[in-house]
Amino acid sequence: MQIGQALTWTAERYPDRVGITGSRRLTYRAWDQRTNRIAHALLAAGARPGDRVATFLSNSEVMASTHLALQKLGLMSTPLNVRLGTAELAYCLDDAEPTVVVTDDLAGEVAEQALTAATCAPRVLHAGSRPLAGATDFEDLVAQQPDAPTGVRVTDDDPSVMLYTSGTTGRPKGVPRTQRNEFAASVAHVVQSQYATGEVTLGAMPMYHTMGLRSLLSVVIVGGTFVELPIFDVDRALELIEDEQVTSLYLVPTAFWALARTGRLPRAAATVRKIGYAGAPMTSTLTERLVDELNPEVFINHYGSSEVYTFSVEPNAARKPGSAGRPGVFSRLRVVDAEPGASHEPLPPGRSGEIVASLQSDEAFAGYWNRPDADERGLRDGWYHTGDLGQVDEDGDLWVVGRVDDMIISGGENVHPVEVEDVLARSADVAEVAVVGLPDEKWGQAVTAFIVPTSTSEDPEAVADRIRTWARDASGLSPYKRPKQVVVVTEIPKSPVGKILRRKLVAGDYEAASQPDPTHRTETKDGAAR
């Protein structure tokens, strides 16, 4: 089954059911016809099966419909992260060499800058009211096309999408995925999220990310409704959830925090029965709050990546907050020795190692685009090396404890940042927290907590003192895991999908509410002051 075919068959099954709502409210019949017109328009613009078509688009109906239209042609949809810098976007363009680029008003300026910096010269289609120099009007071209199928035959092995990794380490890497990969991942998401026919979901996650695409495609498979949210805005999100009677939310933890902090979530989300998160760990504090306020029937933690959509799923996130659960329905995982060149024999329960995922899954990609160096590092003997550290408990459940490169070694002891963050998040003074290891002459690395406080009106150093005292007296953290330094900051640097960018904190790329006092007494490994 191919993605475009799935849309057409759903339109035949539920022609009058609303498929997408927002700037356009389209039934499945109308949505299928619109994507046919867009497919014809892309062919008219010079794209051919097997080509790449890059998109600089907001999280809009145009983005959703263009992506689906590309699936009907066997073209490789290449949605670009419009929050990347000009140099990174120009690199992605030259790496992908798209035949056509589609832009809109929200991303038009970013696209123009990237296209100027790039060496490739694709045809540009612009969807919006503000003209873009040298671009063809997208909607005018679409309106001239027939709404009948194009007649292009697409197979399971044809291209579907190429996602570029966020580039948190080095250059962005292209992750090409086939129709088989994307359909398998979407079916897995339906099963693992326990979606029902007619599910209504908020399209809040960007569709240049695997979470955003899964929200779109899984809804198409179950004949549900995709509620468009071009830019994540808390007030608009709550309004849409209430007005459109959204039944499922699939978000990153930071988005759930933003919604919960308004105090309006229980009323606005009265129809929400299923929630899931991915992209970053969720603290037990937030987990408990969502359970109290929403009382969801389904609450999952999805652990995966662009390369292999599902690694594992915890089907009851409230049961074991932080657990990543068991391998997904099409997945196979192991925790192995993280040393380079080590075997893929699984480690016993309780031992930490690198998490690897089987490349035999239908959800798994075959290798990076033009990056044999990345293939050599990440793909070995049929396993994808995630770069994540984890361990399996006595029940057989997986716990992700951080990145291989994020491990803090302080005084010879291993400290997992996620474990410390989960504890510190319980302090009444902590709104957000990120933990890293900073160079230290005595300890090698000093456990350092960067805190966004719940109150911004107090003296930051007083807040930091309270957190240090709480960590020592009430947190339950072992002495060597307690932060030797607390830095109060205005915000935690994150990727567009909510992943903490620890490298920026280590590099000093943050805005401190106060500078840490270098004369402040810190704790030794055994808890004594120095």
First-to-last CA distance in the chain?
64
Query: Tokens 């695997």 label which residue?
Result: 210
Whether the Cβ atoms of residue 222 and residue 192 lie closer than 8 Å to each other: no
CA angle 91, 96, 101 (to 5 degrees): 95
Q: In whole numbers, what is the pLDDT of the chain averaged over residues? A: 92
Exposure of 306 by Cβ count < 10 A (0-12 exposed, 13-18 middle, 19+ buried)?
buried
| Structure confidence by residue, pLDDT tens digits, 461-511 | 999 999 999 999 999 888 889 999 999 999 998 876 677 888 889 889 898
Give the per-residue pLDDT at 27.
98
pLDDT at 496: 66
Beta strand spans in 51-144 (E) = 52-56, 76-79, 100-104, 123-127, 136-137
User: 């263009």: which residue's tokens?
Assistant: 66
Condensed to tens digits (0 to 9), the pLDDT of residues 307-366 reads 999 999 999 999 988 899 999 999 999 999 988 889 999 999 999 999 999 999 999 999
- Identity at 344, one-letter amino acid code: H
Q: Strand, coil or helix: what is 448?
A: strand
- The gap from C-alpha 464 to its chain's centroid, in whole angstroms, comes to 31
At residue 514, the pLDDT reads: 58
How many whole angstroms from its chain centre is CA 440? 33
The token pair at 438 is 């900073």
In 3D space, the residue among 285, 217, 210 whose CA is nearest the CA of residue 253 turns out to be 285
Which pLDDT belongs to residue 522? 41
> In this prediction, what percent of the chain has a pLDDT beyond 90?
78
pLDDT of 515 above 60: no
Lowest average pLDDT, out of 108-112, 288-292, 403-407, 454-458, goes to 403-407
Of 494 and 239, more confident: 239
CA-nearest of 230, 265, 262 to 249 is 265
The pLDDT, as a whole number, for residue 189 is 98
154 φ/ψ angles, rounded to the nearest 5 degrees: -115, 135
Can you say whether residue 382 is alpha, beta or left, with left for phi > 0 and alpha for psi between -120 and 50 degrees? left
Structure tokens at 232: 């994540």
Q: How confident is the model at residue 447 (pLDDT cuts 50, 70, 90)?
A: very high
pLDDT at 523 over 70: no
Banded pLDDT at 512 (limits 50, 70, 90): confident
The two structure tokens encoding residue 187: 């079916």
Question: According to the model, what pLDDT value does residue 442 have?
Answer: 75
Token reading at 523: 């704790």
420: pLDDT strictly greater than 50 = yes
Q: Which of 40-54, 124-138, 189-203, 513-527 has the lowest mean pLDDT?
A: 513-527
Domain boundaries, the chain: 407-506
pLDDT tens by residue, 356-372: 999 999 999 999 999 99
- What are the Cα distances from residue 417, in Å, to 77, 169, 301? 36, 18, 19
CATH class of 407-506: alpha beta
- The angle at the Cα of 465, spanning 463 to 470, to the nearest 5 degrees, equals 95
Rounded Cα–Cα distance for residues 98 and 51 (Å):
7
Residue carrying the six token digits 């380079």: 340
> For 78-100, what is the mean pLDDT?
94
CB 111 within 8 A of CB 81: no
| Angle in degrees, CA 450, 455, 456, rounded to 5 | 80
Beta bridge partners of 358: 383
Is the pLDDT at 413 greater than 80? The verdict is no
Q: From residue 312, give the alpha-carbon distance in Å to each of 93, 128, 316, 397, 504.
A: 32, 40, 12, 9, 28
pLDDT for the residue numbered 166: 65
